[in-house]
Structure 1
């Protein structure tokens, strides 16, 4: 049996629309399935925790990265493969894993049954699939989640521009910080740090190619630190992130590791998969081959 977790309001209603079309295919194929609609984040995770691995072939998300995040946190308790049919605004996990945008092809891949193990980022009791953002982009994610314009832009199918608009607004208000990184057995000191992205996958923020070399099954994460640059230079570098060319700039440092502790002179916001998970100081670890995807 396949269990579908549907966020009906993902992508400003796209989740509901996609599910209706997917359900028709399932009925035509006489596929055994059960569907749950999400109510809130805690509800999603609790649903997943009740699933029986002896009965459920895969837990399939129809929604965006936030819904995927909540489902994966539930799947830490029950070992069931994860499938995704993208229906959100950013869909960065789907983009990174080359999951088809079209629901028919995405469903076809899931029903084919091919499995793969991937790594997961851990922050305390929370786990993340894509990127943990610390600092400027944590604040961007926080404002995006609170933004009224996000819903309007989603309705116009321009949701990916929500982050861009907030970046431009926040750029002139945000104050960079002094940071100490303890990466595996090495300590780094950075001044005027704008952001730190700890990446299990290359994309976040609706298509930003933040860590082009990050892969989900190498037992390590990539770290992108943007530091010691002016606001004007940052504005010049920012457009390059959509092509991954920012990593060549002198104000960008890219590292790789398995455990990182981030300590800043003042607390800054942290997001994981676009969901706010706290403030610094924070410790992030990667655990290899802990999630089956299908």
Structure 2
């Protein structure tokens, strides 16, 4: 196969309440009109995209992720971090938080034009996480955010409410999470910071937002070689409801309960095991120790 400009499209049929799959004909029409050499794979089950990318990506120069943040998460866990593969993004999921960092909307033609006409490929960071859970070790990567505590509990409940759109789905899950909330009891060690005690949540961000538009790491940059961390102190359920709009309005830094810092590495010990999510997908339900590091400039993404 001549590898010059060979495109692999991976589509998550469940993304965006089926919007990714429903857009397939429009994508095919564009590719045939432009005479683009391509191959399309549609995932069949959660985790399948990881397998597809591991198996097929070496035969292509470009990989296009069609779906949301969860789809992208599977893509980057299938890609060899040292690969020269260029990644394109068609954000057709529910939240599309990572696409905000690239200033992408859901217009398919506009995004396809960018993928095939842009001469800009930028190197971005990704996060690497190692989790200890019940005597075993889990290794994973994330592209946008990692969450522990209330953030992860909401992500767990959000998986059941994705019939709703974006931030509405997330708010619905937040209300459900309040019913089950218990604080984290943690020890956090980063490059220059140590934090202990009872906390609402810990978010480790590579990107700006989580949950379809909540600014939990509002100063994060996907190419600064640093992790941005938000640690929010334990608070009452009523106060959670009062403070929640601050995250939507990008004013969370005004809350005295929110602590922000950045680091190349963070270690978290949980006295009581808890949920962990990566890019909105639950990767552990009983994590006891978590180590997160930044993989600098490891991902090549087609951008403006």
Q: Is the 8 A contact 2:157 2:176 kept in 1?
A: no
State the partner residue of 1:89: 94
State the partner residue of 2:35: 30
State the partner residue of 1:226: 232
User: Post-superposition shift, 1:36?
Assistant: 0.4
Whether 1:285 aligns to 2:293 is yes
Following the alignment from structure 1 to structure 2, what is the Cα–Cα distance between the partners of residues 144 and 52? 30
Q: Is the 8 A contact 2:188 2:266 kept in 1?
A: yes
TM-score, length basis structure 1: 0.92
Q: Is the 8 A contact 2:166 2:211 kept in 1?
A: no
Whether 1:237 aligns to 2:255 is no
Following the alignment from structure 1 to structure 2, what is the Cα–Cα distance between the partners of residues 216 and 20? 32
User: Post-superposition shift, 1:276?
Assistant: 1.0
1:165 to 167, 172, 184: 172
Whether 1:45 aligns to 2:50 is yes
**How many residues in Structure 1 have an aligned counterpart in Structure 2?**
285
**CA separation of 1:229/1:68 partners in 2, compared to 1, >3 Å: closer, same or farther?**
same
User: Post-superposition shift, 1:135?
Assistant: 0.4
**CA separation of 1:274/1:104 partners in 2, compared to 1, >3 Å: closer, same or farther?**
same
User: Post-superposition shift, 1:52?
Assistant: 4.9
Q: Is the 8 A contact 1:269 1:280 kept in 2?
A: no
Following the alignment from structure 1 to structure 2, what is the Cα–Cα distance between the partners of residues 33 and 19? 13
State the partner residue of 2:3: none
Return 5+ residue gaps in structure 1 as ranges.
none
Whether 1:129 aligns to 2:143 is yes
SS in 2 for 1:203: coil
C-alpha RMSD over aligned residues: 1.5
2:64 to 44, 52, 60: 60
State the partner residue of 1:183: 190
2:105 to 94, 100, 111: 100
Following the alignment from structure 1 to structure 2, what is the Cα–Cα distance between the partners of residues 172 and 37? 37
TM-score, length basis structure 2: 0.89
SS in 2 for 1:281: strand
**CA separation of 1:100/1:173 partners in 2, compared to 1, >3 Å: closer, same or farther?**
closer
Return 5+ residue gaps in structure 2 as ranges.
1-5, 131-138
Q: Any idea what the Cα deviations from partners look like across 1:74-128, whole Å, max 9, x if unmatched?
A: 1126441111101111111112221232011111111124200000100133110
Following the alignment from structure 1 to structure 2, what is the Cα–Cα distance between the partners of residues 42 and 27? 29
State the partner residue of 2:155: 141
SS in 2 for 1:210: coil
User: Post-superposition shift, 1:240?
Assistant: 1.1
